[in-house]
Each structure stands twice: as structure tokens, then as C-alpha cells.
Amino acid sequence: MNERVVIIGSGLGGLECGTILARAGMNVSVLEKEPQLGGCLQTFRRGGLTFDTGFHYVGGLGECESLRPLFDYFGLMNLPWKQLDTDCFDEVRIGDRRFAFAQGHERFVETLAASFPHQREHLKNYTEMLRQVGLHIWDSLDPRDMDDFYGSSLFARSAYAWLEETITDPLLRRVLSGTSLKLELDRERLPLYVFAQINNSFIQSAWRLSGGGAQIANRLAEQIEQNGGLIRTRAEVTELIERDGKIAEVVINGEEHLPCDYVISDAHPALTLSLVKESAVLRGVYRKRIERLRNSIGMFTVNIRLKKDVLPYRNSNLYLHRDDADLWNVRTDRVESVLVHFYPPEEGCYAEGIDLLTPLRKTDLPDWEHDQPGHRGAAYEAFKQQKAEETIRFVAQHWPELEDAIDRVWTSTPLTYEHYTGTKDGSAFGVMKDWQSPMTTVLSPRTPIQNLLLTGQSLNLHGILGTSMTSLFTSAELLGKETIKQELKL
């Protein structure tokens, strides 16, 4: 087996596909337009600290849990993972009320039932459904294999409607929606499967990675190269040349032509299709459908270096919400919700750096969307400063110790995220899925071009779990589903 596979983009999905296929003996080349590998896994240094671009924490790494078999296979479990507080990995604050999310389904129920004793049985039903979704995660290597996928599957059911049916207390519904900043809650669109799978994995167990997400990208890249693969940075794919209904050549940086047998794109599906300038098989209706896909919301991020030995490190995440915030209808004209993420300190028990994340859309920044970083001008810098101050004030209302503990602040917007990761519209969660239209929003790895495949978080699920699942779906198109199941012991 010596098929030439070109992978566009070195995000998690591209690197995982590259690792699987290189191990299978394929001739893999990963092309990354940026100087640094990793896409949303990139890290950067500011003020002597390492900050993450898009990765913050992950769920399901315990024995026999959702993500564990994949990370065992990819050799990622011996990275410096730190399990979050088992009694409170996430704390949700709505106004002045506090609620702890505990790890483990039974403990999760018992902890919240202390505040909602009348909802104990409803909480059991809630977690049991999540648990069942997690248990059956590897029943198929493509959710489209499920019976009546477009009619009765959890992709075709409303998450919001199910939550209303399952939990009768309105406040508890808000609490269970309170970790919404790891997915976009949309009352009209969000499928139940997305809500259940993501929330289940974190209830199983929750983990941070000391030193940043780039370690994941680097470990995968090492394995690709050890198995004879090639990884190139500053190698932007500028065109895909089709002949006889297949991609025959990949054009790099507008001049170099690389022949191929298969192409896997970890880029956004719309960007991928734009690289095919002329095609005999890509119909206009297909192109338009992909181009019109709605992208999920982005984030405004405040990276903070804290004063030395002032704030104790917190081994959990804080989700802070205004008392009147509608968590299923995100507003970006004011700060209503913020995720506070702590970086594990290199030594000692005091926090050194934190991130504050609050929703923001690229469409909130129309005056600067065509400008390059560093050239957006004084008005853009003033906007970021004002947004950062508003975000910090909001957090300080819940956590007054923060303001006097800040040493230095850096900020980024969806424009920053889009530029450095290639994520269309600076979207945090890829293409928005719609339970009313799963056939057009839950995408197959396959395209009308026989040897052009897709991968990444825009296809099925987002995040580390979703992207890793999708890398298997994509790789199975080349190696076969049974081969993948046997290789990963699923």
C-alpha cells in the first residue's frame, strides 16, 4: 500500500488521519500554511507564559470512557494530563447562585439533587440518556449507518425540546445549560446528539493538559514522520486540480504541483471546495449548499498573566452568567456569560495565568474583517480594550479578587482566530448543526469528487472528541470500517 495521500491542514483531524494512514503504510504528506502546526491546538507565549489558542479541557479520558481508546491508540495518554476536581470540575454561577458539576454520573446527580431534591428522578433520567449515548459511541463508524438516520436519530431531535421534557424545573434547566461555552446552544437548531455526547464525555471525567495543547499536535506529527510521512509548514494549498473526476494535483503556494491519489481536507468544507477552480463533477447546487452552511459563534478571549503568589490555582472551571441571560439565545452586544479557565501552574499552588472567554461573532467586527493582524488600527485596539474591561468587570462581580491580581492582559477576537487557525468566521465549534435539517448540516467525509475527502469538526461533532471521531470516519473511507475498528480495538 503506497497510495499518496495529501492532507490539507494540520489541525487535530488532519494529524489524526495522517497518523492512522501513515501507520497503514500510505504515503502521507501534511501541508500546513502557517509556521506552527496544530490549528486550534496551537499555543503561544506571552509574558513568559504559554497560552492555548482553542484547547482548554477535555472529557472522557478515564478507563473505558469515550475518548480513551483513541488517545491510547494515538499515544497521547502519557502527556501531562491533570484531572480536574472530581467533586466540582465545572462550577456554574447564575447571578449569585452557585452549582457544582461533579464527575461520574451518579455523583453528578447527587450533587445537583442537593439543590434540587424534587428533581432527583429527572436528573437520573437526564444522565442515563447521556450515559447511553456515550456507551454506544462506537457502535458505528459513521452516524449515517444508524437506522433511519434522518428521521429518528438523535441528530434529528431537538436538544432544547428534550431538555424541557426531561427537566421540569426551569432553574435546573438553566443550570444544566450553564456550561454552554463549550458548545453553542441554539433553541431552534441544536440536535440532541451534539448536546448529549459532549456533555456526557465531561461528566465521565474532565482533564486539563499542563503545558498546552500543542503537545498533542507535536506527538501526532512525530508519529506521522516516524512512519515515513512528511509534514510541511508554510505550505499553503492554493488549488486542487481535477482530471477525469478526481483530484490529480495539489498546488502549493501557487507554484509547486504535488501529484496525489487521495486528498483529505481538514479545512472548512466551503474553503476546500473553493480550491477546486474547475470541476466536471462538483455541481453548483452542492457548492452553494456548502457555502451557505451557518457557522457557529466565535469567542472574545482575554489572556491574563496574574501577579505572582496572589490567587490560588483553581482545579475547576467557572461558568459565570448574568441572572437574566438567555443561555439558548446568545447575545454578543453585552457580556452575559464568561468561561474562566485556569492554567495549571508550573510549580506551587498559585495560579499564573487564566483565560476569560465570552461569545463574539465575526459579524460584530465588520470594519476590520479584511485587515491583517497588526494593521487593524486604533479603533480596533480601542474596541478590544473596552471589551476586555467589560469582561473583567463582569467576572470581578462574581470574583472580586481578580481585579487586583492582574499583571498583564492580551486579547483576541474571532478575526484573530480565523487568521491563525484558518477556521472560517473564527467559529469556535465549526458548522452549526440543525436537527430540522440533519441531511444538509451533518456532513459526510465523502464529496462528489471520488478521491477528495473531508475531516474536522465541521462534519459531525466539534471539539477534541468530535474531531477525533470524525478522523476515524474519514480514515475508514480509505481503509475500511472493520480495519479501523480492529486497529483501535473499538
Q: What is the CATH number of the domain that holds 231?
A: 3.50.50.60
Name the pLDDT band for 230 (thresholds 50, 70, 90).
very high
pLDDT digit string, tens, across residues 439-475: 888 889 999 999 999 999 999 888 899 999 999 999 9
Closest CA to 458 of 425, 415, 416, 414: 425
pLDDT at site 369: 86
Residue 303, C-alpha cell as written in the block: 489572556
DSSP sequence for 141-203: SSGGGSTTHHHHSGGGSBHHHHHHHH---HHHHHHHTTTGGGS--BTTT-BHHHHHHHHHHHH
pLDDT at site 143: 53
Structurally, how many domains does the chain consist of?
A: 2
Same domain for 283 and 342? no
Closest CA to 443 of 264, 275, 290, 327: 290
pLDDT at site 156: 87
Looking only at Cα atoms, what is the longest distance across the chain? 67
pLDDT at site 485: 83
Task: Find the mean pLDDT for residues 369-390.
Answer: 92
Closest CA to 355 of 55, 28, 92: 55
- Which helix (H) or strand (E) is 30 found in, with range? strand 27-31
Percent residues over pLDDT 70 in the chain: 97
SS3 label, residue 481: helix
Same domain for 398 and 473? no
pLDDT at site 149: 45
Same domain for 241 and 277? yes
Same domain for 241 and 288? yes
Same domain for 272 and 334? no
Same domain for 304 and 226? no
pLDDT digit string, tens, across residues 112-126: 999 999 999 999 999
Same domain for 379 and 401? yes
pLDDT at site 374: 85
pLDDT at site 347: 84
Residue 471: CB atoms within 10 A of its CB come to 30
- Average pLDDT score, the chain: 92
Same domain for 329 and 395? yes
With respect to residue 175, please indicate whether it lies within any of the assigned structural domains: no
Say if residue 462 is exposed, middle or buried (CB neighbours under 10 Å; 0-12, 13-18, 19+): buried
pLDDT at site 420: 87
Domain endpoint, select from 344, 379, 412: 412
With respect to residue 383, please indicate whether it lies within any of the assigned structural domains: yes
Residue 378: CB atoms within 10 A of its CB come to 7
Same domain for 313 and 327? yes
With respect to residue 68, please indicate whether it lies within any of the assigned structural domains: no
Residue in the structure block whose three cell numbers are 454506544: 136
Same domain for 374 and 326? yes
With respect to residue 114, please indicate whether it lies within any of the assigned structural domains: no
pLDDT at site 255: 93
Percent residues over pLDDT 90 in the chain: 82
**Lowest-confidence segment of 16-20, 357-361, 397-401 by average pLDDT:** 397-401
Please report which residue ranges of 265-400 form alpha helices under DSSP H. 269-274, 284-291, 377-398
With respect to residue 167, please indicate whether it lies within any of the assigned structural domains: no
pLDDT digit string, tens, across residues 84-114: 999 999 999 999 999 999 999 999 999 999 9
pLDDT at site 483: 86
Domain endpoint, select from 412, 443, 477: 412
pLDDT at site 136: 79
With respect to residue 199, please indicate whether it lies within any of the assigned structural domains: no
pLDDT digit string, tens, across residues 384-442: 999 999 999 999 999 999 999 999 999 999 999 998 888 889 999 999 999 998 888 88
Residue 228, pLDDT above cutoff 90: yes
With respect to residue 255, please indicate whether it lies within any of the assigned structural domains: yes
Residue 139, pLDDT above cutoff 80: no
pLDDT at site 372: 86
Report how far residue 5's alpha carbon sits from residue 477's, in angstroms, rounded to the nearest whole number. Answer: 13
Report how far residue 233's alpha carbon sits from residue 250's, in angstroms, rounded to the nearest whole number. Answer: 15
Q: Which is more confidently placed, 180 or 173?
A: 173
Report how far residue 381's alpha carbon sits from residue 274's, in angstroms, rounded to the nearest whole number. Answer: 32
pLDDT at site 203: 97
Same domain for 408 and 444? no
The range of the structural domain enclosing residue 348 comes to 298-360+366-412
- pTM for this entry: 0.93
Same domain for 274 and 302? no
Residue 291, pLDDT above cutoff 60: yes
pLDDT digit string, tens, across residues 252-290: 999 999 999 999 999 999 999 999 999 999 998 999 999
With respect to residue 222, please indicate whether it lies within any of the assigned structural domains: yes
